[in-house]
Amino acid sequence: MGGSYCKVVHPKEGHNDSSEDSSIQTKIMTKVGKTINLQQALNLNGSCGEFALGATTSPLTDTEFTDFRDGVGTLIKVDECKQRILQGGLEPSLRRVVWKHLLNVYPDGLNGSERMKYMSRKSEEYQRLKSEWMLYYRNKKAIDLLFCYRWLLLDET
């Protein structure tokens, strides 16, 4: 921290309770300390003070992303890829592909065409489940309306 400190002035005039001032200063310094500890924890270089939030290099390109994968296209250098993205971001055109790798969407060992077929099957499965749910929801809504209508009719008699 380098010896710097923050003097807190209480808004009430004539207030000189040093224990309360000390308590506020302690709270502020605790928050500052936690912020510094968080910055040190996020420091991937291992050297204090060199971590900067935001991009420090250019975004990851398709050519660089290829270097993190094996011949089949499986992401094998996951930590290095994550660190590179943290340092410089990711080209917008690659986001759709890269995040599927980082989030383990694909099963291991699939090549490019197999990954495309896999995603096509998953998309069809999603559409089927969505249609089934919508049909169920519409039917349930209709049954609920009939139940309410019948309940109202019985209640009036």
Residue 68: what are its φ and ψ, rounded to 5°? -90, 0
Neighbours of 65 (CB within 10 A): 19
pLDDT of residue 26: 77
What would the pLDDT profile of 79-135 be if each residue is shown by its tens digit?
999 999 999 999 999 999 999 999 989 988 889 899 999 999 999 999 999 999 988
Distance between CA 30 and CA 42 in Å, rounded? 18
pLDDT of residue 17: 53
Q: How crowded is the C-beta side of 27, counted as CA atoms within 13 Å?
A: 7
Q: Of 46, 90, 47, 50, which is closest to residue 68 (Cα–Cα)?
A: 90
Contacts of 119 (CB under 8 A, 6+ apart): 100, 105
Residue with tokens 């592909």: 97
State yes or no: pLDDT of 73 exceeds 50.
yes
Quick one: DSSP state of residue 55? -
From residue 68, how far is each of 56, 115, 125, 131 by CA, in Å? 20, 17, 30, 38
What would the pLDDT profile of 29-62 be if each residue is shown by its tens digit?
776 666 665 555 555 444 444 444 555 789 999 9
User: 137 versus 53: which is more confidently predicted?
Assistant: 137
pLDDT of residue 85: 94
| Partners of 90 in beta bridges | 60
pLDDT of residue 37: 59
pLDDT of residue 61: 94
Token pair belonging to 62: 């398709």
Q: What is the pTM of this model?
A: 0.50
Mean pLDDT to the nearest integer, 15-39 = 66
Quick one: DSSP state of residue 94? G
Domain ranges within the chain, ordered by starting residue: 1-53, 62-102
Distance between CA 94 and CA 149 in Å, rounded? 54
